[in-house]
Structure 1
Amino acid sequence: MHFTAVLSFAVLLAGAFAAPLSTRQETVSNVTCTDPKTTLDSHTSNVALLQICGGIAGTIEKCQGAPKSTTGQSGDVLFTIKPVDSGATINISKGRWEQGIKAAFAVCGQNKPFEATFTGGASTGDVSVTYGTA
C-alpha cells in the first residue's frame, strides 16, 4: 500500500516537471532595441504589461472592445500597441501578448526598451509594439 502511494506521487511529480510536448513561440519582426543602456524596472514593466486594453489581468484572456490603439502604463513604463493595417482594431490575446514580449526581450534583453511587430493580434494583420519610458 505504501509503495503504491509513493509510486503514484513520483509519477505525478515527474509529470509536473516534464517538458511540454510543444511550446508556442510567437513571431516578432522588425525588432529595434531603442535604448540598450537602459533597463526598466521589472515589477513596473509587469504591471504595465497587464494594463493594455484597459487591463488584461486576471481572467480576461483577450483585449476587449476592439480599440484602434492601446497603451499599458505603470509609473514611467509605457507599452503602446497599434495595428499595422490601417482601419484594423486590436484583439490580441494575453498569451500572444506575453509571448511576444518574451520574444522581443530575447532579442534586446530583459526589460530593455524596444519597438517591434508582433504577428497577429489585430482584426486584420499584425500589431506594432513600443516599450519604453512614458
Structure 2
Amino acid sequence: MRLIQSFLLIGLVALAGAKKHPAGIVLSVPIMPRIPSQAKHNEVLQARSALSKPDASAIVSTTCLDTNQVIDAHDEAEAQLSICGGMPGSIQACQGAPSKTEGRARTALFSLSVGSGDSIVITKQLWLRCVHAARSACPTGSLSAVCAGGASSGGNVAFTLTKP
C-alpha cells in the first residue's frame, strides 16, 4: 500500500509541473528540472578549465570586452581551428602567411592580425595555448588578446573573439 501511495504522490507532483492544454489534457510531464542556458554554459567552462592549466606565457595581454555575450563553446572550438583557411588534423601551422585571417562558426568569430609588413605563421599548438590562456582570464563573452609570438618577424599576433 505504501508503494502505491508513493507512486501516486510522485505522479501528483509531476502533474503539478506539467504543461496542460486548455481542455485539461496533459501535454508533457517534466522529467528533470530545466537548467538555464547560462548555467550550462558556465558548467562547460568550468569543465574545460579543469582539463589543464593555462599557459600564461602564451599571451602578452587580454581584455574582456562583453562578458554578457554568449558564445557557444562548440562554435568557439570550431572557429578556433578555422583560422588561416583551416587547421584541422595534421596541419600544424597557419598556411599562406596572411597578414589578417578569420575563423568563423555560427556564434563565434576569431579575427587575427599582425603589424605592417608582417605575416601570421602561428603554430596550432601556440594558437590553442594562447586562446586557452585568454579564456582563463575572460571565461565568458567576447575578448581581445595578444599572443606571444606567431608572426613571421618573431612579433606577436593580436586577436579578438566576438559574436558575429
Q: TM-score with structure 1 length normalisation?
A: 0.77
1:117–1:106 distance in 2 versus 1, CA, 3 Å: same
1:97–1:59 distance in 2 versus 1, CA, 3 Å: same
Q: Secondary structure at the match of 2:77?
A: helix
Q: Percent identity?
A: 35
**Aligned counterpart in structure 2 of residue 107 of structure 1, from 137, 150, 160:** 137
Structure 2, unaligned stretches of length 5 or more? 1-52
Contact 1:105 1:112 survives alignment (8 Å): no
* Larger RCO, structures 1/2 (Cα 8 Å, 6+ apart): 1
CA displacement, residues 45-69 of structure 1 (integer Å, 9 cap, x when unaligned): 1110110000001100000010111
**Aligned counterpart in structure 2 of residue 79 of structure 1, from 99, 110, 113:** 110
Q: Secondary structure at the match of 2:135?
A: helix
**2:162 is aligned with 1:123:** no
Cα distance between partner residues in 1 of 2:149 and 2:163: 25
Q: Secondary structure at the match of 1:118?
A: strand
Q: Which structure has the greater CA radius of gyration?
A: 2
Q: TM-score with structure 2 length normalisation?
A: 0.63
CA RMSD of aligned residues (A): 1.6
Length, aligned pairs only: 110
